[in-house]
Amino acid sequence: MRGWHLAAGGAVLTAALLAAVQPPFQAAFLAPAALTPLLYALAHEARWPRRFLTGWLAGFLYWLIVCHWIKDVLAAYGGLTGPLAVFTLLAFAAAKGLHLAVFSALAGPVLKRPWAIPVVAALWVGIERTHGPLGFAWLTLGNSGVEMGLPVRLAPWIGVYGLSFIFAALGTSLTLVLLRRPRRQLAWLLPLAGLWFLPPLQLKVAPGQQAVVAQPNVAGNAVWSLEEKDRMLRQLMYSTLAEAVEVEKRRPDLLLWPEAPAPLYYYQDETLRRGAAELTRLAGAPFIFGGVAYTPRREPLNSAFLVDRRGQLAGRYDKRFLVPFGEFIPPGFGWIEKISSEAGNYAAGTRAGVFALGDHRVGLFICYESAFPHLVREAAAGGAEVLVNLTNDGYFGRSRAPREQHLQLARMRAIENGRWLLRPANDGTTAAVDPAGRLWDRLPEFARQTGRLRFAWLREQTAYTRWGDWFAWGCLLVGLAGVGAAWMPVYQPARPRGE
């Protein structure tokens, strides 16, 4: 029973610590110790099925805490009743817990070896990198370090995964200390001193450009008639133009609306097309906004449109990574479509979002796509000089946790790529983020507001933008190789008789 008590305690404590380092708690100082309780329990368990269950419990509880808001979103906007929403949340957390279960089953034998620190950390990072391809990406361990001045210096070099590696390595080293391992096994931490030699994040170019941004503050569950939609469009057009042509202010370089808070069909709605064209001609600035497009098979697309200064449609980006349950039904959850007719069934786009604006380029990504470092990196590598994240957090209601989590993801994407990031949101947080991840020109939340966001065009690319996720994928290979080596028996020469 003692073994089960240790396993359960380690799983629960690590789940609590992993959740505590993320918004809304943001106890980032706990990140270096977050994995220690789990690793300590794994070091005392020789059987891999028990390690698997221990890790699964930790993962299940972590996702249940961090993504508890999924239940409310499903109940309010997915057409699922309360008990069904709870069941779906539990099923989601159970599935996501498998990542930590696999990590735990594999990491146990590695903890016995003198090279545990780098291999356990590499295994953690490699499994983190699989979250997106295997269904749902959200907060990585490294995201908790967005405001930690020293570790975050790694982000422009190897992405958020570099911070995850540091925290996992520190958590492993603390575990070895508790296990009273020889001090020489901690020597793997010495290279971390190199962080002091990396350049600190700083603003090299003052923001000399401006974007006019509209925050409509439309309720996520609004029901639209044609008259109400036209009224909203007229109000947004007027307020955007009024801000853009205000006499005492300079003409803007961009006009931005968020991810569509209402069903805006550019191709079908002549009123929207005429209004967008007139707005750009009068404001003298290109206009980027969210709306709905269709594939040739009439499947809906969550899209961003670019109308140039002449009033012509100059580009469209279709969202590539869709929100599970909101925009598509994940495999294994098809029963939701039978229960709710409101569950989305969007098609995914296929191309990176880079819009050409004369001599400049803008990188586009929509809402949940901020959780995918490699997707945003593709836009920056494609020449984007500023990043724009159209989003609609209205589906979160007024809950603080998901809003702050979502914003933290976007801040890390700005740091990784060394770019200004403009974030027009339906009801907040609408803000500009500088290349160091700091917020500028933030508009009040839950208010219909039009304002300006400062930014700068930047062309210099970070190492992460140029080379991508080589570190994360390399960690997966190193971690698996280390696991294989840990499973190999250690040769010990037989002692002569009589000793």
What are the pLDDT digits (tens) for 336-374? 654 444 456 789 999 999 999 999 999 999 999 999 999
Q: Is 456 helix (H, G, I), strand (E, B) or coil?
A: coil
Strand-strand pairing, 254-256 and 209-215: parallel
The reported pLDDT for the residue numbered 259 is 93
Q: How confident is the model at residue 418 (pLDDT cuts 50, 70, 90)?
A: very high
Token pair of 431 as six digits = 């803000």
Strand-strand pairing, 300-307 and 313-318: antiparallel
The reported pLDDT for the residue numbered 397 is 78
Query: Which burial class, exposed, middle or buried, applies to 93 when counting CB atoms under 10 A from its CB (0-12, 13-18, 19+)?
Result: buried
- Listing DSSP states for 354-422 in one string gives EEEETTEEEEEEEGGGGG-HHHHHHHHHTT-SEEEEEB-GGGGTT-HHHHHHHHHHHHHHHHHHT--EE
Q: Is 304 helix (H, G, I), strand (E, B) or coil?
A: strand
Q: Is 9 helix (H, G, I), strand (E, B) or coil?
A: helix
Provide CB contacts within 8 A for 427, sequence distance 6+.
215, 216, 217, 218, 261, 392, 393, 394, 445, 446, 447
Q: How far is CA 473 from CA 13, 259, 480, in A?
A: 28, 32, 11
Residue 162's closest CA among 477, 478, 475, 479? 475
* DSSP conformational letter for 305: E
Length of the chain: 499
The reported pLDDT for the residue numbered 491 is 55
pLDDT surpassing 90 at residue 408:
yes
Say how far residue 384 (Cα) sits from the centre of its chain: 19
The reported pLDDT for the residue numbered 493 is 60
Q: Is 105 helix (H, G, I), strand (E, B) or coil?
A: helix
Q: How confident is the model at residue 423 (pLDDT cuts 50, 70, 90)?
A: very high
212-221, 275-284, 409-418: which has the minimum mean pLDDT? 212-221
238 Rama sector, left if φ>0, alpha if ψ -120 to 50, beta otherwise? alpha
pLDDT surpassing 90 at residue 72:
no
Q: Regarding predicted confidence, which is higher, 30 or 203? A: 30
Q: How far is CA 381 from CA 229, 308, 407, 463, 465, in A?
A: 37, 23, 22, 10, 6
Query: How many angstroms separate the CA atoms of 480 and 260, rounded?
Result: 43
Please, are residues 322 and 66 in contact by the beta-carbon 8 Å criterion? no
The reported pLDDT for the residue numbered 276 is 96
Please, are residues 386 and 397 in contact by the beta-carbon 8 Å criterion? no
Q: Regarding predicted confidence, which is higher, 499 or 341? A: 499
Give the best-scoring range by mean pLDDT among 203-207, 468-472, 484-488.
468-472
Q: How confident is the model at residue 289 (pLDDT cuts 50, 70, 90)?
A: very high
Q: How confident is the model at residue 74 (pLDDT cuts 50, 70, 90)?
A: confident
The reported pLDDT for the residue numbered 492 is 55
What are the pLDDT digits (tens) for 472-498? 999 999 999 999 999 876 655 656 665
pLDDT, mean of residues 381-400: 91
Question: What is the pLDDT of the chain when averaged over all its residues?
Answer: 91
The reported pLDDT for the residue numbered 227 is 86
Provide CB contacts within 8 A for 227, sequence distance 6+.
none
CA atoms within 13 A on the CB side of 242: 10
- Listing DSSP states for 123-184 in one string gives HHHHHHHTTTTTT-----GGGGGTT-TTGGGGHHHH-HHHHHHHHHHHHHHHHHHHTT--GG
Please, are residues 51 and 42 in contact by the beta-carbon 8 Å criterion? yes
Q: Residue 360 pairs with which residues in a beta bridge?
A: 357
pLDDT, mean of residues 87-113: 95
pTM for this entry: 0.93
The reported pLDDT for the residue numbered 2 is 64
Provide CB contacts within 8 A for 211, sequence distance 6+.
252, 253, 254, 255, 256, 422, 432, 452, 453, 455
Q: Which helix (H) or strand (E) holds 214?
A: strand 209-215
What percent of the chain stands above pLDDT 70? 93
The reported pLDDT for the residue numbered 336 is 61
What are the pLDDT digits (tens) for 152-197? 999 999 999 999 999 999 999 999 999 999 999 999 999 999 999 9
The reported pLDDT for the residue numbered 366 is 96
Query: How many angstroms separate the CA atoms of 322 and 325, rounded?
Result: 9
The reported pLDDT for the residue numbered 119 is 98
Query: How many angstroms separate the CA atoms of 5 and 15, rounded?
Result: 15
Query: How many angstroms separate the CA atoms of 140 and 131, rounded?
Result: 9
Q: How confident is the model at residue 398 (pLDDT cuts 50, 70, 90)?
A: confident
Query: How many angstroms separate the CA atoms of 137 and 153, rounded?
Result: 23
The reported pLDDT for the residue numbered 82 is 75
Query: How many angstroms separate the CA atoms of 178 and 63, rounded?
Result: 27
pLDDT, mean of residues 321-333: 75
What percent of the chain stands above pLDDT 90? 77
Q: Residue 388 pairs with which residues in a beta bridge?
A: 364, 422
pLDDT, mean of residues 209-219: 94
Say how far residue 337 (Cα) sits from the centre of its chain: 26
The reported pLDDT for the residue numbered 338 is 42
Q: How far is CA 251 from CA 235, 238, 244, 371, in A?
A: 20, 16, 6, 33
Looking at 179-269, list the stretches that DSSP marks H as alpha helix, in order from N- to C-terminal side.
Answer: 226-244
